[in-house]
Structure 1
Amino acid sequence: MARIVAMILALALLGACGSTGNDGSNPLDEDEQEDTGGDTGGDGSDDGSGDPTTPIESDRELPPGTAQPTPNNSIVRYEAQDDNGGGYARNIRYNSDDDTFEVDNLAFDGDNVYQRGGQPSSQNDVGSLGPFAVYESDVNSVDPVTGTVVDNLAYRAIYGVSTSGQTEFAIVRTGDYAGYGFGGFVYQRNGGDGALILPTEGDAAYSGDYAGIRVFDGAAGLEYVTGDATMQIDFKDFNESRSGVQFFVRNRRLYDINGADLTDEYIAALQADNPGLDVPRDGAGNAVLPNVLPVVEPGVADANGEIVQSVFTRIQTADGPQELSEGQYYAIMSGENAEEITGVLVVEGDDPRNNATFQETGGFIVYRQ
């Protein structure tokens, strides 16, 4: 704890420094153009007919990344930099030769090469969350001049890639700051002819996995969340005037940085603060975190297969429903029949255990069933 406090004091000035010399290029593929976010589309405009070959006009805001997306090209989106330290992780790379992860632009994460967790030499026992891999920054580094050992912060990275290899996501966070701390996320679709052929009829159901990292404002520490992700899409009404998309994360469980299950502890704190709590449970009767639910609204998707939708979590108490967290997810479709969808979700809310607020950043990959 003393090390963490000392690091927090030392790093208090980092937010003003940033990375003004960084070109903001795609963390997984450096050949992409950058834009500043906002609503981007293909090469046409919606004429009100609902033609799925033209982009949808809406007031949603995409993360920065690919400047001129089309259904056939690669699209990369990454977290925008903010005052809380989000979006500072850049040039994120996975090295399949030695199963390591590289992250640039984060202070005190060692030599920028993260090792797989859950190995005999690892700091923690978590090397995987479902099908997604977990990586650890170096616990310390050595001053090349004096040989002095310098303590580092505990960054963790989650990396997910679809079974086809066509879509990927990565998330980097640390719990060693007084606030949410520095980190970032990226998700992408790899390009080429037929990268996405968007259906124009029928309904589709998707299911897959979700895993995320929780950090806190007002408390130290890092936790993991897992869950089952599902999505439903009405391709007949995949346009501006209809909802078209619904996304859920169910059966969510909470773990500490060593993989110990904290779900029951969290639910007990919720019950203490919310008399008459209707405890959410999975199919086996085990207590779980509240479901992530979609805000059904128009204009959440476009012809390039990009989706932005608001989400929230809610509990039922003796005093009625209470919302616990809210945020958004960002996703991208891929395949000749939109067979897979990959994205990143970010929600914030109050933690009943420590009077702090949490930020949960999770990635998901779902497949058409």
Structure 2
Amino acid sequence: MKKHIVAFAAALSVSACGGSSNPFSDDTETDPTDPDTGTPIESDRELPPGTASPSPNRSLFRSEPEGTDAASQGNGAATAVAYNSGDDTFSVDGLGFDGDNVYARGTNVGSLGPYAVYEAPRQFPDSSSGTPINQFTHRAIYGISTSRNTQFAIVRTGAYVPYGFGGFVYQRENAVTLPTTGQALYRGVMSGLRDFDGAGGLEYTTANIDIAIDFDDFNDSTGQRGDAVRGVISNRTIFDIDGNDITDNVISRIEADNNITLNQYPVATFTVGPGVLDDNGEILGSVQSYYTDSNGRTAVFEEGNYYAIVAGDNAEEIVGVVVLETTLDPVANSVRETGGFIVYR
């Protein structure tokens, strides 16, 4: 049985001097369904692949669903994700032309906020002649919480005309105790990767993210949790692959191509409604951002989904991933941003 996000041995701040021992190394999935196969779970909530029998009393693991059409065929391809603190490397299986599957800490961009960035080698030798073979552009972002109770990883590829091959994973290591009354506010940073349907290349993103939960409402007549969840993603910034801030350039080309005025990259918000948080601490919902069109009307700029897990004895933190797409950026048919976050009360 494969492990989940294995070998998260130590916080990144001490990874250079740590060993390869892993306090989570025995946390293997014992469910009869292998979570690394990417087989969707049968659920009314359409949970991503992962833990087949979730519970508030155990760890939880989720990964990106496999793609179902030409544009998304590379989704969920990244498997066997692992971090090794001994040499501060990241390994990913399932992706073509990423060297020997071992990613080194990024050179031009080594971190985005509190999260680490890794890159696949640019060349890899022919196993017989030693002749160097150019590899595809792959980047990985890894985050682990200060408690080491939650973590996420995102891998994307910038070498394909449709969206490239990659994936995301996120998990909670232990049980969670959810309040039954009151409200909670969580704040943190989101960092991600932008890839393109209709163009190659990768870009980095950062943003602030606030999430609030009302543990009292919405009420659910079935007796299940009906907690309301709201989220705001703001101060969004875009960087090129070398780490240069290109936010203004991106905004300018979008404004010119669509005859609109943005002033800033749009704030994204969670859709608020019942049934997004369950008893196991999983949160699933939709997210969108808006702009004002040339006629003064509010229109959708991006649409997508967020996936998250609450963790802690007092629900102290949330780990998750946001996926947003827009067709208004003229650089490609569609632009996808995949961002990971860990937020705290």
Q: Which bin holds the TM-score, normalised by the shorter protein? A: 0.7 to 0.9
Q: Counterpart of 2:215?
A: 235
Q: From 298, 310, 315, give the equivalent of 2:291.
A: 315
Q: Counterpart of 1:224?
A: 204
| Structure-2 separation of matches of 1:279 and 1:176 | 31
Supply the AA of the counterpart residue of 2:59: S
Cα deviation, residue 96, structure 1: 1.0
The answer on whether the counterparts of 2:232 and 2:269 sit within 8 Å (CA) in structure 1 is yes
Cα deviation, residue 25, structure 1: 6.0
| Structure-2 separation of matches of 1:229 and 1:353 | 26
| Structure-1 separation of matches of 2:180 and 2:227 | 15
Q: From 163, 179, 191, give the equivalent of 2:146.
A: 163
1:336 aligns with 2:313: yes
Cα deviation, residue 361, structure 1: 0.7
Q: Counterpart of 1:14?
A: none
Q: From 253, 256, 268, give the equivalent of 1:272.
A: 256
Corresponding residue SS for 2:250: helix
Q: Counterpart of 1:48?
A: none
Supply the AA of the counterpart residue of 2:79: R
Q: Counterpart of 1:298?
A: 274
Q: Counterpart of 2:45?
A: 60
Q: From 37, 40, 51, give the equivalent of 2:40.
A: 37
Cα deviation, residue 344, structure 1: 0.7
| TM-score, structure 2 as length reference | 0.86
| Structure-2 separation of matches of 1:180 and 1:275 | 27
Question: Cα gap change, 1:151/1:70 in structure 2, threshold over 3 Å: closer, same or farther?
Answer: same
Q: From 78, 91, 94, give the equivalent of 2:63.
A: 78
1:365 aligns with 2:342: yes
Deviates more, 1:29-38 or 1:63-72: 29-38
| Structure-2 separation of matches of 1:279 and 1:24 | 47
The answer on whether the counterparts of 2:215 and 2:227 sit within 8 Å (CA) in structure 1 is no
| Structure-2 separation of matches of 1:348 and 1:114 | 27
Cα deviation, residue 60, structure 1: 2.3
1:251 aligns with 2:235: yes
Corresponding residue SS for 1:216: strand
Supply the AA of the counterpart residue of 2:28: D
1:99 aligns with 2:79: no
Cα deviation, residue 39, structure 1: 6.2
Corresponding residue SS for 2:255: helix
Corresponding residue SS for 1:273: helix
Q: Counterpart of 2:19?
A: none
Q: Which whole-Å deviations, capped at 9, do the CAs of 1:273-298 have from their partners, x for residues lacking one? A: 34452523xxxxxxxx1111111222
Q: Which whole-Å deviations, capped at 9, do the CAs of 1:291-316 have from their partners, x for residues lacking one? A: 11111222111011000010011112
Supply the AA of the counterpart residue of 2:180: T
Supply the AA of the counterpart residue of 2:205: V
Q: Counterpart of 1:184?
A: 167
Q: Counterpart of 1:210?
A: 190
The answer on whether the counterparts of 2:150 and 2:319 sit within 8 Å (CA) in structure 1 is yes
**Identity across the alignment (%):** 50
| Structure-2 separation of matches of 1:344 and 1:24 | 22
| Structure-2 separation of matches of 1:297 and 1:60 | 14
| Structure-2 separation of matches of 1:357 and 1:174 | 15
Cα deviation, residue 62, structure 1: 1.0
Q: Counterpart of 1:54?
A: none
Question: Cα gap change, 1:165/1:132 in structure 2, threshold over 3 Å: closer, same or farther?
Answer: same
Cα deviation, residue 354, structure 1: 1.8
Q: Which whole-Å deviations, capped at 9, do the CAs of 1:16-40 have from their partners, x for residues lacking one? A: xxxxxxx876343772233643466
| Structure-1 separation of matches of 2:165 and 2:115 | 21
Supply the AA of the counterpart residue of 2:158: G
Q: From 139, 155, 177, give the equivalent of 1:197.
A: 177
Corresponding residue SS for 1:237: coil
| Structure-1 separation of matches of 2:146 and 2:326 | 32
| Structure-2 separation of matches of 1:297 and 1:117 | 39
The answer on whether the counterparts of 1:243 and 1:296 sit within 8 Å (CA) in structure 2 is no
Count how many residue pairs are aligned between Structure 1 and Structure 2. 311
Q: Which whole-Å deviations, capped at 9, do the CAs of 1:70-110 have from their partners, x for residues lacking one? A: 11211100111114201010000011111100101111000
| Structure-1 separation of matches of 2:104 and 2:279 | 38
Unmatched runs of 5 consecutive residues or more in structure 2: 7-24
| Structure-2 separation of matches of 1:102 and 1:339 | 29
Deviates more, 1:323-332 or 1:291-300: 291-300
Q: Counterpart of 1:18?
A: none
The answer on whether the counterparts of 2:106 and 2:117 sit within 8 Å (CA) in structure 1 is yes
Deviates more, 1:355-364 or 1:106-115: 355-364
Cα deviation, residue 325, structure 1: 1.4
Corresponding residue SS for 1:322: strand
Cα deviation, residue 272, structure 1: 1.4
Cα deviation, residue 238, structure 1: 6.0
